Every structure is written in C-alpha cells, then in structure tokens.
Chain A
Amino acid sequence: MNKRVVITGLGVISSIGIGWEEFWDSLLNGKSGISPVSSFDTTPYPTHFGGEVKIFNPEEFIVKEQLPLMNRATQMALAASQLALNDSDLTPEGLYSYRVGVSHGTTLGAAQTIEDVDMLLIHNKEIHKDLIYQMFTYAPPSMIAKEFKCNGPLFMFSTACAAGNYAIAYGYDLIRLNRADIILAGASDPISRIEYTGFNQFSAVAPEKCQPFDKNRKGMMLAEGAGILIIESLENALKRNAPIYAEIGGYGLSCDAFHMTTASVEGIAECMRKAIREAGITVEDVDYVSAHGTGTLANDKAECAAIKEVFGPRYKKIPISSIKSMLGHTMGAASALEAIACCLAAKNDLVPPTINFETPDPECDIDCVPNQARKQIVNIALNNSYAFGGNNASLVLKKYSGS
C-alpha cells in the first residue's frame, strides 16, 4: 500500500487544444476557448456562448464506420486515451492487459444520447438499438477498455463536476492496492442541452465570458472536453523508462451533507485538509492551487472562504488560478483537465493564469494569477473539485523528484 504512483502520459481534447502541448501553450498564453454554441439552437435561451471543442475531428482518431456507434463523450474519451497512450509510449500490445485498468468520470456521460432519444420520443419516433447502446453511462470507459485491451478493473464515477478527480484518485488506489500496474484515468463530458437548460434556469451562466474571482463575475460557461492521464506504479514506470510528469501525493474526499446545489465552506475545507493530511504535507508546502473556480458568485466566494480557513494567514501568498476562465466548465472532465494542468505546472514550474480578471472582489482576495501565466516553483499542487450533491474531491500532485 506504500507504492509510489506517478503520471506518465497525458491526453487532452479541449476547446483550446488537442493534445497536451497545444493545451498547455494555450493555457500559458491565456487563450479562451469560448465561442457561440453551435451544437444546439440557443435561441430560446438567455445566453448563447459555451466552450465547444470545435477543433476536434474524431476521424483522426476513430475508424469512420464506428463513429455513428459512439456518442461524443465516447469519441472524446477514446481520442484523449489514444493521445495519452502515445504520450506515454505505450501500445496495447506492450501491456500485460489484465494489469491495466480504466477509471473514468462523467456528469451525464451519455448526455447527448439522452437528448437525442428525448427528441425522438417527443416526436413518437422509434428508438434504435444503436442509440440505446450509447445511453449506457459507462460506454466511454468500456470502449476505452475494448479499444486498448485493458482487461483489468473498470470503473465509472458519475460524481458530477468532481468526477475527474474521483476517477484519478481511485486509479491511484487501485495501483497502491496492487490491483493494477497501469490505469487510464480521466473523464469526458460533451456540451449538453440539459446542463445548458438547468444552469440557465439557475441564472448561473455568464453571457460571454467566464471571470472567476472577479467582482463582476456573472457565472459559469458550459463546456466540453476530455482529459486522460496514464497513472502507473513508479516501479513499472522506471522499468519501462516512461516519461514522468508528476507523482500523486494523495487525495481527500468529503461530502457537504448539506444541500444539493449550495456549496458548504466547511465541506470543501475538510476536503482540502484530508488531501493535505494524506499526502503527508502541511499547508506550508502547497505551491499552487488549481481552483474549482467556476465563476459563479456563490462557488468562488465559498471556495475562497474555505481556502482562507485551511491556509490561514498564508492564503494570499499561494497562487490560485482557475483554468475554467479559459476552458469554461467541462463538467466531469474539468478536474481531469485541471489535474493535467497541475502536472504540467509541476513539471515546468509555471502557473497558468485566471483570465478575464478585471475587478478584485474583497470576498475573493486571493492571488488568482490574474491574466498572465507566472514562473513559479511548483513542488506541490492541490487540485480542487466540487460537485452537485456536495461531493468534493481534492487531489495532491507533486513534482517527481527521482526514485
């Protein structure tokens, strides 16, 4: 159970880049991936923008004939997995497949399939088997396992907007428990009409841009994407000379047990504390916090209050940024993509910014790395994620410092 676990490959499908190189470059340059939503008609909505991945061409990754049998969540998950495996110098043939597993996360996974089925239902049309197959929430990890011959454990966490962290965290456990050597961990979610409706009805969607921690922030930006991390026992990684991006230090989960949609300062503070405790570090050791930072009034306020509670007088000294300012909120995929950003921050000693920051908010008086990336030593990064239902997950990622 004391095995060290490292991250040896990164795969990204995002509105600001396909592959981690392009993604990281965009993050450092503060590039926004927000554009008018085109996958459904937004005329009846008060807002019209989102973070769709318009640069994704699934045919580059998946045989054309198979595409109609996979929803967008699956297509993005498969593509991100392919990128991560390539990055990690792994081929399915080179794996002992029973020791390779998949741990995946989603908010609605099959959101777009459910939406397609609903459209057919209201018009009394027949629902074909092909479509029903795609409704199964766990299609993305199952198709990853099938495609890349991962015959070990398979898990699908549907813990809403914290799902990516949950999936990575349990992948780490599976390796420590010696139930696998390698896990393809991450999450994927498509842009969803259902989410767009819900968050608009909550008046939680920003009209044009996402401005976490800004006094005039107007809400989140619905988005999509997929992030996959190859996580592996250090032993296995060294044996095969794999590239190592970062080490997983530990994690914390907590539940607010308070309200379905209102975050609790106590709950998210406890989550960070657990992660720090499990990693065997102190608050003094944390060099960077990747915030959940959705850009809604309530979330950012609660998160900052929790950070103050956990970090005490040091809270202003830690760079805390939200890449959701660039990507929007990719739902279940968000914390997976943010974990990838943390790995790259630790690897390169660079911190991505919070863009669109204009006016400081006295209630969010943290150092949110406004608008410009920063050179900064990152030995330890803390990746926060919070979800509906008060499901909180914080992950500690460490700079890899040799065996």
Chain B
Amino acid sequence: MKQRVVITGIGVLSCIGTGREPYWDALFHGKTGFGPITLFDTSLFNIHIAGEIRDFDPVMFLGKKGLRELDRSTRLICSAASLAIDDAHLQITDENTQSIGVSIGTTFGSLHSISQFDRVGLIEGPRYVNPSHFPNTVLNSPASRVSIRFHIKGFNTTISTGFCSSIDAVSYAADFIKLNRTDVVLAGGVEELCEETFLGFHNLDYLSGKDGFEPTCFPFDARRNGTILSEGAAVLILEDSEHAVNRGAEILAVVKGYGNSFSPQRISNDISADINFNQSGKGLKNAINLALNDASLTPEDIDYISASANSTKSLDRMETEVIKDVFGKYAFTIPVSSIKSMVGESFSASGALSSAAAVCAIQEGFIPPTVNYKEKDPECDLDYVPNNARQKDINNVLVTSSDPYGNNSAIVLGRYDRR
C-alpha cells in the first residue's frame, strides 16, 4: 500500500523554464526568472519586477483552435497538462476516460477575468458585457477547460486554499486513487500574473522592493524583506501504481504521505493587523508529523526539505523553527532549500512547482539551491543549500506549504522501489 500512488509524468511552465528537463536544468544551475513586468502597466506601483513566463506561446502546446476564449491561467494549465500527458505517455480514450480525473489548485487564477468582466459592467453597463467572457469568471474554469480539451471525464475538481492549493490538490487526487475512484489524476496548480493579484500582494506589503530598492527574493537570508510575485503552472500525473506498471509507464516517484492542518496564525483578533505569521507554527508542525506518519517514515528518513519560505521575514523564520522542532538533532543535517529564490512566489501554483522540483531531486540526485543567499540570519540557522545545487542521493523529500490565513500542508515524495 505504501507505493500505491505514483507519479508518472510532469508538465511545468515556470519563469525559469518550460517542460520537465528545461525546468530541472534551470533548478540545477540556480537560474532566476525575474524581470520587468510586461503583462500590465506598473506605473502606479513602485515595484516593477516579477517572475513572468516570457515568450509563452500557447499555440506550441495547444494549437490555434479555441485559444481565443481562454484566459492566461487556462492557457497555462492546459499547456502544463499537455506537457504532462505527453511526458507520461498517457493515452486518453473513450474506454479509460471515466477513470481519469483532474484536480487543480488555484485561487486567483480567474481573478483578472472576473474583475475585467465586472468592470466592463460597471463602466459601460451590464447589457454591454460580452456574455462569452462569463464562463471565465468561475474559479473552476481553468481546470474544467483541461477536461474539455483533453476529454477527461472521470471527475474535475478545483481547490482554492491559497498557498496550500496545489499540495492540497495533489493529496486530494491521491485520496481518490486510494479510494479506488480513479486510476489516473492530472493534479497540480496554476496562477497567472495579473494586475489584480499583484495589487493585492503589493498593498499587503508582501512584496520585496517597496522601499525603493531592487526587489530580491532571498529566502532565509538576513536581508530578506518580502517576496517576488510570479506565475506558473505545473501538472503531475498521479497514477495507481498497478495501473502504471501494467501500461509500462516510467515511474518517477511515489506519493508517500501527506498531512493538512490549520492553526490560526494571528494572535490578534484584528485579522488585518498583519499578514505575517506568528511564531506558533503548530499547524505546520502537525501537518509535517501527519505526513511523516502517513508515509511511515521517521524524521531521519527525510533527505531533503523543499520549504515554502518565500523571503518574507516571519514565514522563513517560522518554518525554520518548526523544522527544528520536528526534526530535532537531524534538523541541522537535512538540507533545506527554497526554490522560490529562483521561481518566485507563484501562490497557488507554488506547491506543484516544488513537488515537480522534488521529483527532480529524486530522479537526478541533486538538491536545488537557495540562490541569492549571502547573509546569515541568526534565527535561520539550517543548511539552506546556498547558491549552488548539491549532488546527493535522495530517497525522500518533504514539501511544505503554509498560508497566512492558517492553513498548512505537507507532502512526502519518495523514490520508487522496483524490488
């Protein structure tokens, strides 16, 4: 049962690379994906840098037909799905479509479409709104369009739990396999970069560069002062291991266990007082312990922790403390890195991008670095794999996500044992 759910394909679009191999290559080389924002006018902000997916051409993945009606999130997730299906050599037919599902995490993926639709109604009047734009205003539109485009009929689910969304979507998918509801699930997450989401994180003082200095994403570094927002889409093909073996699929990794736990992050009753995390970290600690138990692993079995640290003051510190709390003396010997130093904070997509990187670590035998790391923070004193990827045999990776509202998710991915 411990190898019941396996990963047989990956599709990634990120600001550092598109496709499994280019993405992994960029992680190895510590490439960063930040640059001037071109998707919208930033003249009203004092931050102009983000992690955009440059030169994204959906025609390459989806062809020309039917593209016009798809918003950017939908184009990204459909492209990621296309890459993942190809990567897994998955054939979707009338015979097997009912045993294939889609589970996607996204929260603000449709926000731009919603807001544009509403603003046309406000400015020009509701009778002048183009009804063909209405379907893009539901949050399940990106995931549903994956099903429509690839004829996937088993089920279709959209999960919106913020930073935790895509780990939650992957764990939901794994549950569906364990409960014998499905053989295969396209699981992942997507978030597009748009002015509405940018405005939100900007006004919450969540972004680096508000002080006028060049925005930098340096998780765990003493100088960290906020994150860099980015966009991305990643789809993992989750599969019942027997199904994968029977069809001769290459098994890239195993979903070993996961956990999800809420703890209110703010002590204050005033929820608007501070987006930052308080230091309890109880929820994250519980989520990690649940994931380890579910995987039947002990702390020393974990070879690498892919952190959700995003260069904000309190999250990186809280995560460090929780790791020390859970892993005890092993905390200082387990490498911990944040790929957000390279791919930025892609919000709901972040867990899927980190999971894709975790599979890379297992397959390629290296740990992606935390780049831009220079100044040690006394409160963040673990081995963060600074600046250079590190060769290491990896059997088990812990991936975490924490959301300022209080949700926490953790998942353990491991090497597939062929026996």
A interface with B by C-beta (< 8 Å): 1, 44-46, 65-66, 69, 98, 101-102, 106-109, 114-115, 117-119, 121-122, 127-130, 132-133, 135-139, 142-143, 145-146, 150-160, 166, 170, 173, 176-177, 179, 193-194, 196-202, 253-261, 267, 270, 387-391
* B153-200 at interface with A (beta carbon < 8 Å): 153-162, 168, 172, 175, 178-179, 181, 196, 199-200
A132 proximity list for chain B (CB < 8 A): 200, 203-204
Instruction: Determine whether B363 belongs to the interface, using a CB cutoff of 8 Å to chain A.
Output: no
Known: A154-B406, A155-B168. 11 other contacts (CB 8 A): A101-B262, A145-B407, A194-B118, A199-B134, A201-B127, A202-B134, A256-B147, A260-B144, A260-B148, A270-B98, A388-B140
Q: Please state if B121 and A135 are interface contacts (CB–CB under 8 Å).
A: no
Which of B141, B145, B407 has its CB near the most chain A CB atoms (within 10 A)?
B407
Q: Shortest Cβ distance from A274 into chain B, in angstroms?
A: 8
Docked pose: A298 CA to B358 CA in angstroms? 46
Docked pose: A160 CA to B137 CA in angstroms? 10
Decide: A193 near B118, CB < 8 A? Known: A69-B270, A129-B204: yes
Q: Please state if A389 and B147 are interface contacts (CB–CB under 8 Å).
A: yes
Q: Shortest Cβ distance from A326 into chain B, in angstroms?
A: 24
Q: Please state if B134 and A129 are interface contacts (CB–CB under 8 Å).
A: no
**Among listed B34-42, B76-84, B107-115, B349-357, interface-contacting one:** B107-115
29 A-B residue pairs with Cβ-Cβ distance under 8 Å, sorted by A, are: A1-B178, A66-B271, A106-B139, A118-B122, A127-B199, A129-B272, A138-B403, A145-B262, A145-B406, A153-B260, A154-B406, A154-B407, A158-B140, A158-B160, A159-B140, A177-B175, A194-B117, A197-B129, A201-B127, A201-B130, A254-B98, A257-B147, A257-B150, A260-B141, A388-B141, A389-B143, A389-B144, A390-B147, A391-B140
Q: Please state if A257 and B175 are interface contacts (CB–CB under 8 Å).
A: no
Docked pose: A61 CA to B26 CA in angstroms? 52
Q: Please state if B107 and A136 are interface contacts (CB–CB under 8 Å).
A: yes
B interface with A by C-beta (< 8 Å): 97-98, 101-102, 107-108, 111, 114-115, 117-119, 121-123, 125-127, 129-131, 134-135, 137-141, 143-145, 147-148, 150-162, 168, 172, 175, 178-179, 181, 196, 199-200, 203-204, 260-264, 269-272, 275, 282-283, 286, 290, 403, 405-407
B153 proximity list for chain A (CB < 8 A): 254-257, 267, 270
Docked pose: A259 CA to B69 CA in angstroms? 12
Which of B140, B155, B158, B168 has its CB near the most chain A CB atoms (within 10 A)?
B140
Q: Please state if A389 and B156 are interface contacts (CB–CB under 8 Å).
A: yes
B108 proximity list for chain A (CB < 8 A): 137
In the complex, what residue of chain B is closest to A144 when comparing beta carbons? B262
Q: Shortest Cβ distance from B380 into chain A, in angstroms?
A: 26
Total of A-B residue pairs, C-beta within 8 Å: 244
Q: Please state if B115 and A118 are interface contacts (CB–CB under 8 Å).
A: yes
Q: Please state if B159 and A157 are interface contacts (CB–CB under 8 Å).
A: yes
A154 proximity list for chain B (CB < 8 A): 161, 260, 262, 406-407
B134 proximity list for chain A (CB < 8 A): 197-199, 201-202, 261
Docked pose: A154 CA to B160 CA in angstroms? 10
Query: Which of B137, B138, B150, B405 meets A136, CB within 8 Å?
Result: B405
9 nearest CB pairs, A to B: A389-B144, A158-B139, A253-B155, A198-B134, A260-B135, A255-B156, A201-B131, A142-B405, A153-B260
B148 proximity list for chain A (CB < 8 A): 256-260, 389-390
B269 proximity list for chain A (CB < 8 A): 65-66
B141 proximity list for chain A (CB < 8 A): 260, 388-389
Q: Please state if B140 and A170 are interface contacts (CB–CB under 8 Å).
A: no
Q: Shortest Cβ distance from B90 into chain A, in angstroms?
A: 15
Q: Please state if A257 and B262 are interface contacts (CB–CB under 8 Å).
A: no
Q: Please state if B118 and A388 are interface contacts (CB–CB under 8 Å).
A: no
B196 proximity list for chain A (CB < 8 A): 117
Q: Shortest Cβ distance from B400 into chain A, in angstroms?
A: 15
B151 proximity list for chain A (CB < 8 A): 257
Decide: A173 near B179, CB < 8 A? Known: A130-B272, A137-B139: yes
Q: Please state if A122 and B122 are interface contacts (CB–CB under 8 Å).
A: yes
Docked pose: A129 CA to B140 CA in angstroms? 26
Q: Shortest Cβ distance from B322 into chain A, in angstroms?
A: 15
Docked pose: A133 CA to B270 CA in angstroms? 11
Docked pose: A156 CA to B162 CA in angstroms? 9
A388 proximity list for chain B (CB < 8 A): 135, 138, 140-141, 144
Q: Please state if B115 and A117 are interface contacts (CB–CB under 8 Å).
A: yes
Docked pose: A390 CA to B154 CA in angstroms? 11
